[in-house]
Structures are given as C-alpha cells and as structure tokens.
Structure 1
Amino acid sequence: MSQTETTMTADNDLQDIVADSDTGGRVPHDTFSINALWYIPLVWSLFQLWIASPLPFLLRFGVLNDTQTRSIHLAFAVLLAFLAFPGLKSSPRHRIPRATWITAAIGAAAASYLYYAYTGVANRTGAPNSTDLVMAGIGIVTLMEAARRSLGFPLMGVALFFLGYVFFGSSDMLPDVVRWKGASFQKAMSHMWLTTEGVFGVALGVSSGFVFLFVLFGALLNQAGAGNYFLKLAFATLGHLRGGPAKAAVIASAATGLISGSSIANVVTTGTFTIPLMKKVGFSATKAGAIEVSSSINGVLTPPVMGAVAFLMTEYVGISYVEVVKTAIVPAAISYIALVYIVHLEALKMGMTGTSKMHPVKFMLGAIFIIASCIVIAGGTLFLTGQLVDAVEAAFGGAATGILVAGLMLIYVLAVRFAASGPDLEMSSDSLQHLPPTKEIFKTGVHYLLPILLLMYLLMIERKSPALSAFWSTSFMLLILLTQNPLKNYFRKLGNIAGALDQGLREIGEGLVTGARNMIGLAAAMGVAGIIVGAVTLTGVGQVMAEFVEFLSGGNLLAMLFFVALISIILGMGLPTTANYIVVSSLMAGVVVELGAQSGLIVPLVAVHMFVFYFGIMADVTPPVGLASFAAAAISKGDPLKTGFQAFFYSIRTAALPFLFIFNTDLLLINVGPVQAVFVFLVAMVAMLLFAAGTMGWFMTRSRLWESVALILVAFTLFRPGFFLDQIAPEFEAREASAIFQMAEDLGDDASIRVRLAGENLNGDPVDAKYLLPLGPKGAAGADRLLNGAGLELRNEDGKLFIDNLEFAGVAEQLGLDFDWEVIELDVKTERVRKEVFYLPALALLALIYLAQTRRRKHPEALEEVA
C-alpha cells in the first residue's frame, strides 16, 4: 500500500470515529435518504432556535410548555439516531433499510406522545390508561436502542441494570441491604415516561432548553473557521519553543474545548493536526496521543460550557451560572498551566530543542503573564462594556437597544475589514509548519472573538438566562457566516458579492445540520440518564450506595473519598459528558454529603458535585474503556492501552485536585474576595507546577528521589496549609444550639453556618452528623436567613430546636435533612494563627531544592551519577 493510500485510509478511519461517536456513520446514496438526513436536522435546529427566541411570545404562535418542548426534542433525537446510526457493524452504511424507517417513526411517535397527548396524560396523572402504558413501554425501548446506536452499549447497559433493579429489586436473590419492594409496570412507566421524574425531567429540559443551542453555537463557530484559527494561532505563538507542537496542542485543545461538549470530538478535531507534528519533533506515539487526550479532557472541565455540565449544575445544586463558573475556573486554569509545564519537562528530559531556547522559569513566567493578561483583558472588556451599556441606556432610554446593536455591527464590520487586510488562513495541516507571524494570524479571525465575548457578556454581566444568551450569540454567528465572505470580498475589491452570499447560506445550512447531528447522541443520553435518575428516585438506591461505600471504607474519610472517586470513574466509562455527570451526581454526590457529614467533613454542595464530576470525566482517559485515548491512538498509531495509561499519568494533577479542593474550598473561590482570589490562584498555580515537577522527576534538572518527594510535600503544603495547623489547634469549637438564630442574623453576606443535627433517615436508621447551611442576604432575621438560604424552618420545644419544615428542592432537602431532626450544637471558628504561616517552611524547603539542583546543573558529572 502506498503512502498516499495509507494516509487516505487513516483519514477515513478518523472520519468513521467522529461519525460513529457524534454525527452518525450512515452515508446513504439515494436522494430521498440524503435529503432526509439533511432536512430533518435542519428543521430540528430551526425548531430549537424558534422556541429559544422571543418570537413565539411576540407573535403568540407556537408557544409550547416545557414538557411538550422536551417531547419534540427527544422525538427528533430518536428519529435521527435510527436513521443516521447503523444498528450493527454489518448494517448497511449506504442506505436506510425499510424496517429502520418504520422503527424510527414508531420511536419518534412514542417520544412525542407527551406533545400531542399532553392534556389527556395530565388529566390522568397517577392513573394511566392502556395507550399511555403502551406508548411509554415502546418509548423506553426505542430510546435505549437510540442511545445504543449513537453512544454504544455502556449507557444502555447502565439503564438496563437500573430498570432491572426497579422491576426485580424484591427478588430473594438480592442481599437484604439492597432489596426493595419492587415496582409494577404501571408504576414504573408512569414514573419514568408520563411524569417529569424520569426521562422528561431536568436533564432533558436542560438539553432542549439550552444545551442544543450551545452545541449549535460551537458547530457554527467551527463552520466559520474559528477552529482552524485557534489552532494556527496556538502554533504560531508556541510552535518555535522547545516541544512547541505539544504546547500548541494543549492551548489549541483548550480553545476548542471551551465550547465543545465532547472530549472525543476535541481529540479528533485538534489531534489530527497536532499529534503528527508532536511525533515529528520527537515525541513517541504514546506520549503524543496522551498529551492530546489530557488537553482535550481538560477542555470539558473548563468554563464557560464544561460540556454543558455548567448548566446542569445550576439546576442540581441550585446556584447561579456565574457561581458555577467562578467555582470551576481556578482548578481548570491551573490544571492547563501545569499540563503546559509537564510538556516542557518532557521536552527537557528528551533533550529537545526549539528555535527559541527559553529558560524554564522565564518561559513559565511568560506563560503566566500571557494567561493573566488574557483574563484581565477579557474581564476588563466585559466590565467596561457593561459600564458603557449602562451609560447608553441611561442616556437614550428605549432607543438604547437599537444604538447598542448598531454599535456591535459597526465593530463587527471594522473587525472583518481588519481581517481582510491579510490573506485567509489555509485549512491544511501542512501549513502549520510555515505559518505567518502571530500578529498576522491574530487579525485574520479577530471577529470570531466577538460572539464569544457577547455570550460571556450576556451570561456574566447581564445575567441573562443561558437559553437567551446562547440564542443571541448563535444568531450573531449566523450573521457572521452569512456576511463575512461578502464583506471580505468588498473590502478586497474582489466583487462577486452574490456568490459569497450564496456560499454563506450554504455554510449556514451545513452548520445548522452539523449542530443538530452533533446533538443526536447527547439528547438520547439525556433521556436515558433520566431513566437512571428516575430509578434512583423511585427505589432509593442512593441510600444503598451510601451504605455500600461506608462498608468498603470502614468509616475512614479518605478511604470513602477514594472509593467514591473509583466508583465515579467506573460509572462514567463510555458515557458522554452530560450523561456522565448526571449519573455520578445522582448516585455519588449524596454519598459524599452523607458520609462526609458523619465524619465531620462539611463542604458546599457544589464542591461535592465538582468532585464526582472530575472523576466521572477521568473515565474518558482511563483504560480499559478510555474512549478519548482510543481516538488519539487511532491518530498516533500507538497502543490504545499504553496511550490511556500515559494520559492518566499526565492527568494525575487533575485527579489530585478534587481531593485538594474538597478539603480547601478556597480553590473553588467559595466565600473568597477578589484580592484573595488572585492570591489563591497564584499560590495554587505554583503548587500545581511543583506537583507536576515532583511527579515528573524533573525541576531545574533531573530530581533525586528525596527532591521529588519534597516537591510534592511543598505542593501539598501550599494547597492545604490548614492540614498542619489542624494538628496543632482545632479549627472549630462547639456552641449551644440556642444561639443559631442570633448567629445567623450576625453573620455577613454569602455566609454559611455549621450545625450538628441528629435524627432518623427515611429507613429509620439513626443519623448524627454535621452540615453546612447557607444563609440568605444579610439584614433579615436569623430565622428568615435560614429559610431564604437553606430552605429550613426550626421550632422550639422545651428549649430544644427541631426541623419543622423543609422547602421543596431547597439546599437542606438536597443535603438529606428531614423533619424533626434536632439541632445538637453549632460549630464556630476558633481564634488561631493564620494557616498561611506554613507557607514559610514550605518555601524554605523549595529554596533548598532550587539551590541544590542549580548547583548540580553546573556540574554535569553529578547529574550523570543520579542518572
């Protein structure tokens, strides 16, 4: 086989990987099927844009309630899953069998049942008729088959396991600890399909409400050329450095991962270009693939989208989107910086050179300066834009909106004119080796930054809903696709404006279709995840998981967290990001809350959800499933298992972070002011770099064993200085429960109060644990702050305080609190020295290691002795 044929075969294999995991592997040849797989996704995208826009309410036409919207959304997904994804490896790829058309139509009819039969089903709540049950049964089966086709067996297998537990949980074959009374077909189908407790619950609501729009936004952005732009920009900036292609791969994956919901798509999109170049400069196939995997996985953990998990987390945790972003930003940023540093250390260990031999310290300081500058510039731009918008609205009143839109359009036209002053970027990978200067590349796509900034402005400054923010940003992207080429032709005096407009319309159509086809598996996953969530709420299996983990850990706190992490990885294997988060949070978040409270570990709920989410995502790296590792290995021609293990080694810093921020929530910027946030970021970044140096065995030069251990110890001290202080002086002291109302009234804004509660859970088992209850805004009475913040009301009986009422879906209810639990005592922080004092001995030890290694670098013979 010739080199050309080999390359073509590899490219086809990669296309198959992307198609099988995202858009569908069926490529029919007949006109009817081709049109069906074009127009059905197109209509789906237009439908989602319609319901997200203000038009239905302005025109008083096409207004649907949430349940009906979810039903139509799922119907499109099920229909396209059967049409676009072959059922078996032996199934035809170039035609759609007649039986598949029939099955797809039946599945879509069952999925849309709550749309056209909504009134009747609502009137029969709790007493479904035969038609309801038949449609529910068909819907469950076809939905799981749609998920199997589009995502593989793992998610369907998990759903089947939970459905089996729903129906056969009363079997004598099960041990007493997991046995329950079981459910009839009527009860199960009613719960899973005919209410919003199962398939049509929160997960599918988030999918139909705004996840689709964010996926569509990313598809349109890539269609416009932004993906190629970010890739070339990263290579132009870093490609000349030691190990430059690998560093560029990290940055490019970060840029594409910000708006991507799929780690596999991220690997294939950037890895196709970056992995061959990494191999060319000296990285092995295994390490090149592993670097790309680690970079792509981190993209899913990075705000603003986090693979759509950011929006699910707002629903499950009950906090604002801005709070989720603030919580996730520091761990994601320092993890990416550390990965760049790991790549640099690998290049040093392998003796690589670049056209620019920059000193390691100078390189990291420069990287930190660039990243900090980007954050400051982006934040400053958003802040100043907010101030400008306020000023315009104050000056012009109702006319302000038109003026602001006109201003944005003017900025866009000027940005395109700036881009048109140079040639467009080539799309081929060969051009990565002969790139123009960074500033020349930057100007070619500066207009791509505008819709991203608009999205962040609407979410962060205006605090608009995710759906509305995504709608306007997507609308802006549609405008860019339509007009960027005509405007460039005009400014370059090339003419042919009509031809450029026609090209823009075709690109809009491609983007809308691609966005919808990217959502097929994701929407199906949301629906199947609803089956799992419904099974958890129906059976109470969450309590069983808590007892199981408690048994494994023997009550030890660190062992409990380790087993939760391990089970989260197992549960997340083979699942897409959003379904992954839904499953691990539904099953494991409550375990951490309950068992942690019994051990005195009290952390905000968002920290717990971040903990299980991080480990669920690690499943994409970890063998034997590790889908992202398999995708990277297909490009690098390396061994998938070796690639997975190497990627896991590079990702140890990511696996360590959840344990650190569980014990030090400052890393999540919880109750941290702006100045302290900067300090926390800088200290955490230094700690993560030292942790990377310790695990890689290289700091200023190759490290001795004691130096690696000492570096990890220094990193641990910087991450969690309170650990050593807690051994000397306790952090909290007990106060009487009667002081709770006065204390709640006196504490400042965004404060929380630590309480010890005792009572019985739903199973009648005794509970004696500590909980962290958030308080409402300052200025209200203590009882009101408890109600507004934690959703909790207390009553006084003979001098004792008991829980009298719990707000539905409030924080207290989510924490597992129940009626009539007694408030035993309060925990109040003690007066003691600041924990940061332990930074001093840590930095002194670091200075000792630095001096020892610097001296050894000047004497190569010492280095040879170590080697």
Structure 2
Amino acid sequence: MAKNAKQENQLSVEEILEKYDRESTFRKNLGLWAWVVTFLGVSLTVFHMYTAWFGILQSQIQGAVHLGTALGLIFLLYPIKAGMHRKQTGVPWYDIILAFVAIFVCYYNVFEFDALLKRTSFGYTAMDIVVASLGVLLVLEATRRCVGLPIVVVAIAAIAYALWGNKLPMFSHRGFSWSVLSSDLYFKTDGIFGIPIRVSSTFIFLFLFFGVMLTKTGIGKYFNDLAFAMTGRFTGGPAKAAVAASALQGMITGSSVANTVGSGSFTIPMMKKTGYKPEFAAATEASASTGGQIMPPVMGAAAFIMAEYTGVPYSQIMIYAAIPAVLYFTGVFLGVHFESKKQGILGLPASQLPRLKELLIKQGYLLLPLLMIIYTLLSGKTPIRAALIGIAVAFVVSFFSRETRFTVRGFIDALEQGARAALPVIAACACAGIIVGVVVLTGLGSKIAGGIIMLAGNVLILTLFFTMIACIILGMGLPTTANYVVTATVAAPALIALDVPAMAAHLFVFYFGIVADITPPVCLAAYAGAGIARANPFKTGVIATKLALAAFLIPYMFVYNPVLILVDYKPVTLFFGLLSALIGMIGISSSAMGYFIRRTQVWERIILFVGGAMLIEPHIISDVIGYCLVAIVLFIQSRRPQDAKKLVPSDTSVNL
C-alpha cells in the first residue's frame, strides 16, 4: 500500500511538472528511436567535455554542433503538440525528417565555415539563404515545443518589426528584406549564434551537467535533511526548512518550477501537516525555489551570459551576487517567521528531525563537489575548468555510497540526462539570439532605452520602476535566460545612462526577470506549488509575492547603494548598508504579513511599510526616519499584552 501511495504521489508530481513546465512534456515511449536519442545525447555531452578539456572550437563551429545536435534531440523528444507525448509510441516520420534537417542546416555552418566567411563580404548564395531560412524557422518551432509559445511570439514580433518596421510612425528603421534578415540572423555573430548560444555551448552546458551529476549522488535529499536539521525545531520549522532547503538546492538547479516541484513534493505536505494553509505552504516553496537562480556558486544560466555582456568574470559575478542572494532568502525567511508567529505554529519535535552532527559527519562528503567548484572559481580558474573539476569530484563522490555508485549504464544515463537538461536552455538561447539580432540590426535597443528614460523624465526611481515592470511582464512568458538577454539589451542601457554601475544595472534586470515566476497573473512556480498543495493558484501567487515583498527592495537598494554588491565598499559602509537592508526588509515584511512582535493594526502596517521604504536610498536623514518609524512600532507593540493564540503542540520545539 505504501508503495502504491508513493507511485501515486510520483505520478502527481510528474503531472504537475508537465502542466506548468513545458520542458517536461517529452515523449516517454520512443521505441527504437530511444537508441538514437541516447547516442545523440551522450555524444553531445562527450563533445562538450572533450572541447572543455582540449580547447573550445571556433565559436561558430562550437555553436553549430551544440545547437544542431540539440535541435535534432528536441524534434525526436518533443511532439508537435504537448498532449501527444504520452499517447505516441515511437517518433512520427515528420519529426524524424525535421530532426535530421535541423542537424543538417546547423552542421552546414561547420562544413561551409571558410566559404561562409568569404561570402559575408561578397554576398550569400541561394543555398545559403534557404539554409538560413530553414534554420530560423526550425529554431522557432523547436523553442515552441520545449520552452513554450510566448518567447516564440516575441521572436516573431521582432522578425515582423525588422521586415516592416520602416512603416511604423514610431521606432521606425530603413527596413530589411527576408534574405538579408535571415542571413544576418543565421550566419553572423549577433543573431542565433551570438553571445547566448556561445555561452550556452561553453559554460552553461557543463554546469547543467554538473547539476545532473550532483543529483545522481543524492545531494537533493541531503540538502532537505540538512535544512530540517538546522531550522526544523524553531518557530515555523517546516516552512523555514523549505526556505533553507531551496536555498541549498538553488546552488545546483536553474529552474524555479523544477525546484518547486522537486523540493515541494516533500516540504509542502509537511507544512500542511504542521498547520499551514495550502496556499501558504505552496507560496513558501515557490518563493524560496525562485531565488535559487540567484544563489551562487551555480546561478541560473543567465548569469553566465551576464559575464559575456559585462566583461566581468563569472567568479566575480558570483561574489557580487552573494549578498543580494542571502538577502533574498532572508526576506522570504522573515515573511515565513512573521506568519508562523501570527498563526502560532511552532517547530517539529526533535524525534522527527535528522541530527545535524550526524549529517555533517556521515554525509558531509556530498558537499565536496560544491566546495571544490567554489574554491576553483575563487582561485582564478575559468568556469569551464571549475565545472570539469566539479563533475570529476561528483563522479568520485558517488562511489562513497552503494546506493549512488555509478554503473556503466548509470553513467551513460547521466551523460544522456545532461544533454536532455540542456535542451530547453539551448532552444531559449537560440530564440533569444533572434530577438537580440533584430535589436542590433535595427538599433531598437537604443531607441527603447531612450524611450524609458524620457518616459521617466530622467528620474532614476521611475526608470527603475518601469524597468522592473518590463522585466516582470516579459517574465510572464519568457524563460529567465531569454528574459535577461532581452532586458540586458534594451533596458539595462537605460539604467547605465543614468550613471547606475553596469553590474548593478545587469543584476537588477536579472533579479526581476527571475521573480516574475512568482508574480501574478502568470506565476508558474506558484502555480506548480499550488498543484502539489491542491491550493488556489492565484491566491498562492499573491501570497508568494507578499512573502518575497521585502526581497523586492533588494535590487533598488543595491542600485542606490552598490556596496551591497561589493562595489567600492569599505567595511563600515558595508555594515551600515547591510543593517539598513535588514531593517528595511523587517519593516516591509512585517507590514505585508500583518505581524511584528504582535499582530499589527492598519496604522502600524502603514508606518512599518513607510519605514522600510525610507531605507532604500542611503541618506542620513531618510535612514534615521526609517529606523525611528520601525523602532516606534516596536516600542508600542512591546508595551501591548501578548496576543492570545493557540500554539501547535511540539515536545521540544523552540519558540523563537
């Protein structure tokens, strides 16, 4: 019976993933074509391992092999319609044709590389135009299948703008023919084979494979156990453990939805059992899982593209992002704490929790791959070398336990899964390349940046607000990687033009592109969590936003006070910057959740919110006002009698 219950739960998790995560709608019954998929997947992973060790190929060739093999796999794995993936056995003839045509048109860049370089100056042939046209169309279709329609709609709109934008009254340009547009997008380095695919074919793929290798070692369960051991006995223990577990899981995953479902299948039922409402349990997991993409050492795929755009090494970006990441999870943690105090939910009994000391002694070796990656990056090695070392250490660590030890078949499966995990990212990067190619070709980026500044009247706070809204709107349909690529091209320049440090501007758009996953009306991570909790999806999204509301302050804070991303900082300024950020988040979070040290009245919530908001911009007067407003509410509530509340029983829980 227990086995059947486990199978039903697993089926539920799979159904939720397929409903909210387009990446999971691949064919389950490939028939004889499973061998072809395995061959292509293993070959793609081995290719990246080989070039990472012996030297990356010329970017056009590296990108062509990378994208061509990935497109072939996408057409073999993902059906033309999402609902068909469970019904079909084998691969339809038309998808087989599309797979091999996609491989051919990409490998055309390899076979004709020298000739194409010459034809860049003297004009492309008819065959080149046909190949380029097929390449653009196949990228759009492959992206639709494994990422979703919204990003494809944006890319098609960009293509339409390039073709007919000369007829528009605003943002017009000279116009381009299809032959010029398709060849520019496909054969030049500002389009499909631009920076996103270049980074995907070098850094991103290896780190995704590293995540697969870590998963095979059982580190996911270890992180959950570690989180419960550290926080489970305190007020709101299960919810706080969910936040801590997602922060740890976020070091190795790049998907908000997958992280929500993976961790949430365990943490959400635990939270409900402890007394949390289904919507709050789902929202806690979703808001925490979403932050995983900003958590070093292995951040979301867009962080590697940021390194190329800004010219800042990834190891340095990792350092810049560390404090904002910790502050994000601190903000969610605060929201959970205040709600738990309001509801009177204590921690779990010690008998139900793993022992921290035993976990660290007996299974602490599972942290070695992550520690090795951090050490390698900070010692000045390239991300490619760091990923290779991390993969090798993860492979060795797997042999420390009989349950995780790799067999030949298991290692082949890991190689295939590494390729499969990368397919949606590769497709999104290629499709984002179309959008960026149009922006560069037409000069749209500078026009939009100028428009944002003009609309905001050169006022920084308004420019930041409009940029945030643009990031969140784009995030409703675009995956994080594509969202960052677009906003870094058209929105970040507007911030930089107003003297915002480049690193702060890029982290700002990166950050809000990620939190779009929990911002209604389209908040896929919240919807996925609601599916597990059997909760109302929209209410879950609203609560997730409330939980992360304090964390929404952080990008504004590091724009106004770059010491929070360690730009031109001194220990004293960093200390006061962190203090202001923490007090500001306490004010905003307690206002949103309706609890500080007592239940808050309406006027107290207003004062707390204003006090928190006053701490966004570092200025002696606004800081003093902010501190005083929060302190006033603290003093008033401390004089008020304790709220009458029913505590959830626990034999050794701690009410903190």
Q: Is 1:441 matched up with 2:442? A: no
Judged with a 3 Å threshold, the aligned counterparts in structure 2 of structure 1 residues 723 and 146 are, in CA distance, closer, same or farther, namely farther
1:534 is matched with 437
Partner of 1:851: 635
Question: What's the offset of the Cα at 1:574?
Answer: 2.5
Aligned to 1:33: 33
Per-residue CA deviation, residues 319-347 of structure 1 (Å, 9 max, x unaligned), is: 23243223222221112112112111111
Quick one: structure 1 residues 103 and 723, their matched pair in 2 at CA, closer, same or farther if it must change by over 3 Å?
Answer: farther
The separation in 1 between residues aligned to 2:262 and 2:146, in whole angstroms, is 19
Q: Distance in 1 between matches of 2:562 and 2:531?
A: 39
> 1:60 corresponds to which residue?
none
Q: Aligned pair in 2 of structure 1 residues 355, 202: CA closer, same or farther (>3 Å)?
A: closer
Pick aligned residue for 2:475 from 568, 572, 580: 572
Question: 1:96 pairs with 91, 94, 99, which one?
Answer: 91
Instruction: Describe the SS at the equivalent of 1:346.
Output: helix
Q: Cα–Cα, structure 1 residues 551 and 584, in superposed 2: closer, same or farther, change >3 Å? A: same
Determine the C-alpha separation between the residues in 1 that align with 2:200 and 2:468. 26
Residue 166 (structure 2) pairs with residue 170 (structure 1): yes
Distance (Å, rounded) in 2 between the aligned partners of 1:858 and 1:550 = 50
Residue aligning to 2:515: 618
Higher helix share: 2
Task: Give 1:716 deviation, angstroms.
Answer: 3.6
Query: What SS class does the counterpart of residue 300 from structure 2 fall into?
Result: helix
- 1:649 is aligned to 546
Aligned 8 A contact 2:332 2:551 in 1: no
CA–CA separation in structure 1 for the residues paired with 2:371 and 2:204: 18
Q: 1:857 offset after TM fit, Å?
A: 2.8
Greater Cα radius of gyration, structure 1 or 2: 1
Q: Alpha-carbon deviation of 1:674?
A: 4.5
Residues 703, 95 of structure 1: alpha-carbon distance in 2 compared, 3 angstrom cutoff: same
Instruction: Give the equivalent residue in structure 2 for 1:475.
Output: 392
Q: Deviations over 1:686-708 (max 9, x none)?
A: 33223212322211111233333
Does the 8 Å contact 1:693/1:699 carry over to 2?
yes
Q: How is 1:394-409 mapped onto 2 (pairs within 5 angstroms)?
A: none
Asked if residue 123 in structure 1 is aligned to residue 118 in structure 2, the reply is yes
Secondary structure of 2:120's match? coil
Name 2:77's counterpart in structure 1.
Answer: 84
Match of 2:408 in 1: 505
Deviation, structure 1 residue 570: 1.2
Q: Distance in 2 between matches of 1:184 and 1:138?
A: 16
- How far the C-alpha of 1:3 sits from its partner, in A, is 11
Tell me which amino acid in the other structure corresponds to 1:82: F
Gaps of 5+ in 2: 646-656
Q: Which moved more, 1:688-697 or 1:209-218?
A: 688-697
Sort the Cα spacing of 1:99 and 1:280 in 2 relative to 1 into closer, same or farther, 3 A: same
Match of 2:61 among 64, 68, 81: 68
2:284 to 291, 304, 325: 291
The answer on whether the counterparts of 1:261 and 1:577 sit within 8 Å (CA) in structure 2 is no
Residue-by-residue CA offset, 1:133-168 (whole Å, 9 max, x unaligned): 111110111111110000110111111110111111
Displacement of 1:557 in angstroms is 3.9
Helix, strand or coil at the partner of 1:125: helix
Q: Deviations over 1:67-125 (max 9, x none)?
A: 11111000121111111111104534332111111111101111222112111111211
After TM superposition, give the deviation of residue 637 of structure 1 in Å: 1.1
**AA paired with 1:84?**
L
**Structure 2 counterpart of 1:851, one-letter code:** F
Which residue in 2 is equivalent to 1:257? 250
Residue 654 of structure 2 corresponds to none
- CA offsets per residue over residues 500-534 of structure 1, 9 Å max, x none? 96x54333223222221010010011111111110
Letter of the 1:131 partner, please give it.
M
- Letter of the aligned partner of 1:264 in structure 2? V
Give the TM-score normalised by the residue count of structure 1. Answer: 0.70
Aligned: 1:606 with 2:509? no
SS at match of 2:166: coil
**Cα distance change of structure 1 residues 263 and 17 upon mapping to structure 2, 3 Å threshold:** same
143, 151, 155: which one aligns with 1:155: 151
TM-score normalised over the length of structure 2: 0.92
* % identity of equivalent residues: 35
> Separation in 2 of the partners of 1:124 and 1:70?
19
Shift of 1:355: 4.9
Where 1:183 maps in the other structure, the secondary structure is coil
Q: Distance in 1 between matches of 2:253 and 2:445?
A: 31
Is structure 2 residue 483 aligned with structure 1 residue 484? no
Moved more, 9-18 or 336-345: 9-18
Task: Give me the whole-angstrom Cα distance separating, in 1, the residues matched to 2:521 and 2:107.
Answer: 37
What code does the residue aligned with 2:248 have? A
Give, as a single letter, the amino acid of the residue that structure 2 aligns with 1:279: K
Distance 1:17 1:608 in 2: 35
Find the partner of 1:558 among 451, 456, 461: 461
Give 1:550 shift.
Answer: 4.5
The answer (yes or no) to whether the contact 1:311–1:466 under 8 Å persists in 2 is no
Matches for 1:837-848 after TM superposition, within 5 Å: 838-839=623-624, 842-848=626-632
Q: Secondary structure at 1:112's aligned position in 2?
A: helix
Deviations 1:589-621 (CA, angstroms, capped at 9, x unpaired): 123333xx3xxxx22111111121222222211
Q: Which has the higher contact order (CA 8 A, sep 6+)?
A: 2
Compute the displacement of 1:318 (Å): 1.9
Q: Report if the CA contact (8 A) 2:205-2:422 is conserved.
A: yes
Give the AA of the match of 1:665: P
CA 293–113 in structure 1, closer or farther in 2 if over 3 Å, else same: same
How far does the alpha carbon of each residue in 1:797-853 deviate from its partner, in whole angstroms, 9 at most, with x for none?
xxxxxxxxxxxxxxxxxxxxxxxxxxxxxxxxxxxxxxxxx54x6545444332321
Cα distance in 1 for partners of 2:233, 2:367 equals 25
SS in 1 for 2:346: coil
1:706 aligns with 2:603: yes
Q: 1:680 aligns with which of 568, 577, 581?
A: 577
Q: How does 1:339-354 map to 2 (within 5 A)?
A: 339-354=332-347
**Root mean square deviation of aligned Cα:** 2.5
Letter in 1 for 2:75: F
- What amino acid sits opposite 1:538 in the alignment? L
Tell me the SS of whatever aligns to 2:193: coil
Q: Is the 8 A contact 1:77 1:523 kept in 2?
A: yes
Distance 1:290 1:139 in 2: 40
- Counterpart secondary structure, 2:48: helix
How many Å separate the matches in 1 of 2:510 and 2:82? Answer: 32
CA distance in 2, matches of 1:85, 1:17: 17
| Match in the other structure for 1:192 | 185
- Aligned partners of 1:532 and 1:583 also within 8 Å: yes
- 1:216-239 residue CA offsets vs partner (Å, 9 max, x unmatched): 101110111011100111122222
Using the alignment, how far apart are the partners of 1:514 and 1:16 within structure 2?
A: 20
Q: Is the 8 A contact 2:291 2:515 kept in 1?
A: no
**Which stretch of structure 1 is more off in the superposition, 81-90 or 211-220?**
81-90
Count residues with an aligned counterpart: 640
Q: Structure 1 residues 627 and 326, CA, compared in 2 at 3 Å: closer, same or farther?
A: same
Using the TM superposition, name which of 519-528 and 106-115 deviates more. 106-115
**Counterparts of 2:111 and 2:396 in 1: how far apart (Å)?**
34
Matches within 5 A, 1:210-249: 210-249=203-242
Cα offsets for 1:462-481 (capped at 9, x unmatched)? 21111111112112222223
Secondary structure, in 3 states, of the residue corresponding to 1:856?
coil
| Alpha-carbon separation, structure 2, partners of 1:857 and 1:322 | 51
Q: Contact conserved, 1:203 with 1:529, CA < 8 A, in 2?
A: yes
- Which amino acid counterpart does residue 225 of structure 2 have in structure 1? K
Decide which structure has greater strand share. 1
